[in-house]
Structure 1
Amino acid sequence: MLLTLSPTEQHGVALGFIVKEQRDAAAATTTTASSSSSGTTPRVQSLKLHVSNYVGKEGEPLLRWLVEVDTAIAARRIFDDPSKVAFAMSCLGGRARNWAYGRRLTDATFFGTYAEFKEELRQAFEPPKNEFRSRAEFLDLQQGKHDVHAYAQRARYLVSNIVTNPMDEAPRSSRS
């Protein structure tokens, strides 16, 4: 039917259709607003909070970012795990984003639940108990300008990071 009309007439018909759609949408919005104010259940809206991007830099607080994401997920009323994971992944940047989407490329179901996503993220980006770093620092430890007590305290701290059972038991067994 539109093909038989001139371009100007086609434009007029399209414009009339758009105006009618806008009026219908405005009437529906007014009806919804008046029904919610007249005692029916109001529509619950979600709150959209801003979440900073986590990029996976050393020293960047992963735990604080996870709290931000959890708060935003609750405010946005996201309840299913795939949506939670997708939202959290959208808040990643840099190395963390490359890591997460790299995992997804190899296996689309890699992050089965939001809890699994958070655990994998922690394992990938939270520093371990610094065992490797502590071992290297211990092996390079020198007294330097520090007094003997400070030097010994630092050595004890580093050793406690390296071994799970501190060496406090060794002097006791040699005394008996």
Structure 2
Amino acid sequence: MKFDTGAEDLPVDASMSTGNQNTGATHVAREDCLHLADPEWEALRRLSTVNGEAAVATMLRTLSPTEQPGVALGFIMKEQRETAARATVSTPSTPRVESLKLHVNSYVGREGEPLLRWLVEVDTAITARRIVDPLSKVAFAMSCLGGRGRSWAYGRRLTDPTCFSTYEVFKEELRQAFEPPQNEFRSRAEFLDLQQGKHDVHAYAQRARYLVSNIV
């Protein structure tokens, strides 16, 4: 079926506007269907490659001008459904990544309790749990506090609900409240000078681990 845009292949057929059948025709020119919009005409041209040129020409000559746009619209919708179905099949589903709920020991604020090591534990748990919201990070960290640390944090929040605007602010204020002045510097210096001496291997190793936790 040749869908022409000129008039040289077929004169205007009055039967197109009256709905009369002309089963001998095998092609239709654009000027025979001026009542169709360009998208509708293009859809019929694509339909002819599926159903055959003669079948589409016969169908058009059988239908009235008011019924012909419905054929084009139906084919357009069919194309859209097929395109959507192909996209659904071809697009691989993204595997769901499960978050890990790591346990974090409570920080109670006792003297000599390694705050920096606790912060590393909290940071690791936040990453594993896929917590990205700053205030949610603060809330999770506060839930891991106990004793003096918990009293301090919730006391600050009670007097000023906006005190911990970000997780970084929370960590900095916690360090200022519980970390001894120059604690990291002193721990680094003691670690560099650390010797086993009269201590057994276990005590020596425990002290070394404690000093390292205050440095990193």
TM-score (norm 1): 0.51
Q: Secondary structure at the match of 1:69?
A: helix
Q: 1:76 matched to which residue of 2?
A: 129
Structure 1 portions without partners, runs of 5+: 1-38, 131-176
Tell me the equivalent position of 1:63. 116
Q: Specify which structure has the higher proportion of helix.
A: 1
State how far apart, in whole Å, the 1-side matches of 2:102 and 2:148 are.
Answer: 23
Q: Which residue of 1 aligns with 2:99?
A: 46
Partner residue of 1:104 out of 130, 134, 157: 157
Question: CA separation in 2, counterparts of 1:40 and 1:92?
Answer: 39
2:172 aligns to what? Answer: 119
Residue identity matched to 1:122: R
Larger radius of gyration: 2
Shift of residue 42, structure 1, vs aligned partner: 1.2
For 2:148 and 2:178, the matched residues in 1 are separated by 9
1:44 CA displacement:
1.3
Q: Supply the distance in 1 between the matched residues of 2:144 and 2:116 (Cα, whole angstroms).
A: 14
CA distance in structure 2 between the aligned counterparts of 1:94 and 1:128, rounded to whole angstroms: 21
Query: What is the SS of the residue equivalent to 1:108?
Result: coil
Structure 1 residue 43: Cα displacement: 1.1
Residues of 2 paired with 1:91 and 1:98: CA distance? 12
Distance 1:88 1:49 in 2: 13
Runs ≥4 residues deviating over 4 A: none
* TM-superposed deviation, 1:41: 1.5
Aligned counterparts, 1:17-32, within 5 A: none
Match of 1:88 among 121, 126, 141: 141
Tell me how far apart the structure 1 counterparts of residues 162 and 126 of structure 2 sit (CA, whole Å): 20
Deviation at 1:90, TM superposition (A): 0.1
Given residue 68 of structure 1, which amino acid in structure 2 is its aligned partner?
Answer: E
Q: For this pair of structures, how many residues does the alignment match?
A: 93
C-alpha root-mean-square deviation of aligned residues, in Å? 1.5
List gaps (5 residues or longer) in structure 2. Answer: 1-91, 184-216
Cα distance in 1 between the residues matched to 2:166 and 2:93: 36
